[in-house]
């Protein structure tokens, strides 16, 4: 059953939606369980379908450029520098992957069913459409000017010129509304008994709550790419308990370092009264009948990509300019 702790977040999001409802998105896009099957080795009915990874991040791993010749007004290419795309290198060869996120600038508002189908077919990318004002309040307001500084130990007392911003409940409602829009998109395509959902970074902290409410059996992982501050800093957030409970609605929560994980566990203990068990490197928190796994998953270096960049001719030109 869904965690009872999600109710406050959902009520707040519903209130925000009543005040400023989202415009209808393009028609629901139903995707097959397997994005593509090689004609040489079709999947037989007796062969289980490969597990699909649904990677959810604020931005899709794409680059967009204005292109008058394109029917969409933009041309798209893969942005191989994004972490979301580089995650593919750690997956089994041929594993089906679907990326979900917003379109990159300058194509952030290029919404159409035809574009959706094109991006899914050519890049395995499904866009989430947010109205420009909602995106501004969600991303530049709450995420970048309030949440990001706090996660990096900059309290709201910091001058606004340095990124500090006091808590604004209206911006928080925009944050929840944006997370709900991501959940709506996931709802259209998710196979909760088969897919693995991998959510990335603080922009989508509330998303596990929306998914757990709709899909109690969904397999959800969350990785935080930023620091998690000490509980003394985190407790200054007025909605601190809601954010902690949102993370605990994932099945696995990953951090870069042990210190970040320790701060998270300390916050759960001090703010929610939750204890954790640690045994042979396994850390688990019992939460409403579920065990939430906490793991330290430092991002490594892709040596293949590093070697290719070092050996590239343009790298040699830049080195000669410096010397």
In this predicted model, what pLDDT tens digit does every residue of 290-299 receive, in sequence order?
999 999 998 8
pLDDT at 323: 81
Q: First-to-last CA distance in the chain? A: 63
**Locus of tokens 């693995």:** 196
What is the band of 157 on the pLDDT scale with cuts at 50, 70, 90?
A: low
Distance CA 161, CA 235 (A): 24
What is the band of 13 on the pLDDT scale with cuts at 50, 70, 90?
A: low
pLDDT at 6: 59
H-helix or E-strand spanning residue 308: helix 303-310
Q: Judge whether residue 36 has pLDDT over 50.
A: no
pTM over cut 0.85: no
Mean pLDDT value across residues 29-41:
33
Q: Domain limits of the chain?
A: 4-20+48-131+169-298
pLDDT at 158: 55
CATH superfamily membership of 4-20+48-131+169-298? Glycogen Phosphorylase B; (3.40.50.2000)
Contact 185, 60 (CB under 8 A): no
Q: Work out whether the CA dihedral 222, 228, 230, 232 comes out positive or negative.
A: negative
List Cβ neighbours of 28 (8 Å cut-off, separation of 6 or more): 188
């Amino acid at each position: 059953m869904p965690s009872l702790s999600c109710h406050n977040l959902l009520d707040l999001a519903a209130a925000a939606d009543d005040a400023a409802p989202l415009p209808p998105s393009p028609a629901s896009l139903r995707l097959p369980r397997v994005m593509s099957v090689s004609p040489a080795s079709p999947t037989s009915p007796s062969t289980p379908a490969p597990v699909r990874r649904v990677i959810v991040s604020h931005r899709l791993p794409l680059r967009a450029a204005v292109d008058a010749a394109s029917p969409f007004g933009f041309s798209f290419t893969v942005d191989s520098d994004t972490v979301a795309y580089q995650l593919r290198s750690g997956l089994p060869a041929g594993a089906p992957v679907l990326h979900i996120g917003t379109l990159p600038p300058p194509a952030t508002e290029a919404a159409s069913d035809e574009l959706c189908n094109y991006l899914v077919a050519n890049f395995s990318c499904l866009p989430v459409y947010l109205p420009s004002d909602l995106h501004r309040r969600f991303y530049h307001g709450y995420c970048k000017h309030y949440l990001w500084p706090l996660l990096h130990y900059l309290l709201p007392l910091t001058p606004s010129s340095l990124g500090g911003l006091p808590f604004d409940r209206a911006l928080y409602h925009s944050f929840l509304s944006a997370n709900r829009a991501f959940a709506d998109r996931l709802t259209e395509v998710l196979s909760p008994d088969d897919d693995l959902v991998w959510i990335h970074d603080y922009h989508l902290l509330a998303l596990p709550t929306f998914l757990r409410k709709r899909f109690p059996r969904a397999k959800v992982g969350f990785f935080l790419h930023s620091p998690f501050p000490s509980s003394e800093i985190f407790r200054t957030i007025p909605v601190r308990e809601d954010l902690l409970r949102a993370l605990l609605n994932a099945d696995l929560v990953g951090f870069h370092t042990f210190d970040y994980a320790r701060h998270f566990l300390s916050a759960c203990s001090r703010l929610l009264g939750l204890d954790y068990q640690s045994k042979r490197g396994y850390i688990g928190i019992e939460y409403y009948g579920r065990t939430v796994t906490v793991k330290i998953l430092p991002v490594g270096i892709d040596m293949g990509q590093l070697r290719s960049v070092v050996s590239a001719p343009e790298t040699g030109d830049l080195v000669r300019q410096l010397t």
